[in-house]
Amino acid sequence: MLEIAINSLTALVAVGIPAWYIVKNSRQRKRASEKLAQAEERGLTEPVSLHPKIDLANCIQTGACVPSCPEGEILGIIDGRAAMVSPTKCIGHGACEAACPVEAIALVFGTERRGVELPFVKPTFETNVSGVYIAGELGGMGLIRNAVTQGREAIEFISESLTQKDSAVKDVIVVGAGPAGLAASLQAKKQGLNVVTVDQDDIGGTVLSYPRQKLVMTQPMEIPLYGRVKFREIIKEDLLELWHQVIDKTGLEVKTHEKVEEIERVNGHFKINTSKGEHLAQRVLLAIGRRGTPRKLGVPGEKTSKVAYRLLEPEQYRRKKVVVIGGGDSAIEAALALSEQKGTEVILSYRKGAFSRIKEKNEERIEQAIQLGKVRVAFESQVKEIKREHVVLSQNNKDAKVHNDYVFIMIGGVLPTQFLQNIGISIEKKFGER
């Protein structure tokens, strides 16, 4: 009797599990095809910057890449091969590359049609200018965890390259105190290097300019001299507080509000001219991000005091009429933060017909805010002029005057090309290459 029961159970497991697996797989594949069709219909087929390039000849359909992506369904299996099903939502985590057991995925910048400008950086993080290194978002890879990892790794290479000490100069100057610069400075301290860190602003980098209480999505990471931090979500203020705790614990010194203006080579080392004086160092690590200079709209009235390029205190805009311009995460998060203020009217103006490169969570939140009438989105619109009491918004070939108190322009940053070229660093345009 017992034997019959065991046999029946074994048969059930033997048939049931594969059947469940097949059904689950076929559902996932159908969903992937639908997602891709939707992306194609909306013209959202070009990844923004760093993204996976799949070698179809080598892909053996393990599907390991699909769940590895922290951003959700960016990849899927279509016609027996991995494919990007939401290409514009890829933000370059790179987890898929690591997850593929047959190395059929490589991360690349830009596409054949859409080039991305990047400074030349070797795998050792050194640029074409010997002794000058780049880490973090400036090198093309966004996200906090990537910046921290690169900052750490760059210092390891710098440390290896330093063959002799010179007590008259620092071993390394780290320019920028964002995630990459802070991690690099801590790593340098850990390795016993004589380091100086400067930032034109304050500690935290781009995180500092996120809207108040922004939920930061990240991955567990290793902070030198501090240890592993395991959270995946953290409020902006708590992340900044963490950096201050790390600095207090480690005694790292950061020279804030000191802008690096020029870097020149003098007698075999570097002379770094800043807004407050000069530093001498054997090596330079640039961790200055890509957002140093906010991209301008270039419309009349943009220089008036009602225009800003970052939102720090949404509370200041209670009961005001605000136009936010842009369609990326920064613009959407600002619009959402403003929409939560009592009596604030928010219009989000975006030149395209749909949001394309935003995080899934932001997409859900903005859709909800639109449905609740908290944010009005003017797709395919452009601000043509900014006046004291209104903006001129052009949509469907018609211009309308929109009564308005404040304008936030959040259309990304401009690569500090001139600064880099003055140092001698080459800028390359990548079309689907590493």
- φ and ψ at residue 422, rounded to 5 degrees: -60, -30
- CA distances to 103, 110, 201, 210, 294 from 55, rounded to whole Å, are 9, 16, 43, 37, 36
Name 25's Cβ contacts closer than 8 Å, sequence gap at least 6.
63, 77
Taking CB under 6 A as the rule, does residue 49 contact ligand FAD? no
Contact 287, 175 (CB under 8 A): yes
SS3 209: helix
Taking CB under 6 A as the rule, does residue 345 contact ligand FAD? no
The residue (of 65 and 332) whose beta carbon lies closer to ligand FAD is 332
The residue (of 330 and 349) whose beta carbon lies closer to ligand FAD is 330
Taking CB under 6 A as the rule, does residue 177 contact ligand FAD? yes
Taking CB under 6 A as the rule, does residue 97 contact ligand FAD? no
Q: How many alpha carbons lie under 13 Å from residue 30 in its C-beta half-sphere?
A: 6
Taking the complex as a whole, the smallest distance from the CB of residue 125 to ligand FAD amounts, in Å, to 12
**Interatomic CA distance for residues 343 and 320, integer angstroms:** 7
Tokens of 137: 């978002």
Taking CB under 6 A as the rule, does residue 217 contact ligand FAD? yes
User: Residues 88, 118, 137, 246: which binds ligand FAD (CB under 6 A)?
Assistant: 137
Taking CB under 6 A as the rule, does residue 142 contact ligand FAD? yes
The residue (of 100 and 180) whose beta carbon lies closer to ligand FAD is 180
- Restricted to residues 297-326, the positions that interact with ligand FAD (CB under 6 A) are none
Taking CB under 6 A as the rule, does residue 205 contact ligand FAD? yes
**Interatomic CA distance for residues 149 and 135, integer angstroms:** 9
**Interatomic CA distance for residues 271 and 142, integer angstroms:** 29
Taking the complex as a whole, the smallest distance from the CB of residue 385 to ligand FAD amounts, in Å, to 26
User: Residues 47, 87, 136, 327: which binds ligand FAD (CB under 6 A)?
Assistant: 136
Contact 195, 188 (CB under 8 A): yes
Taking CB under 6 A as the rule, does residue 200 contact ligand FAD? yes
210: enclosing H helix or E strand: none
Q: Give the chain's radius of gyration (CA, Å).
A: 25
- Restricted to residues 57-86, the positions that interact with ligand FAD (CB under 6 A) are none
Taking CB under 6 A as the rule, does residue 50 contact ligand FAD? no
Residues that bind ligand FAD (CB under 6 A): 136-137, 142-144, 147, 175-181, 198-201, 205-207, 210, 216-218, 259-260, 287-289, 291-292, 329-330, 333
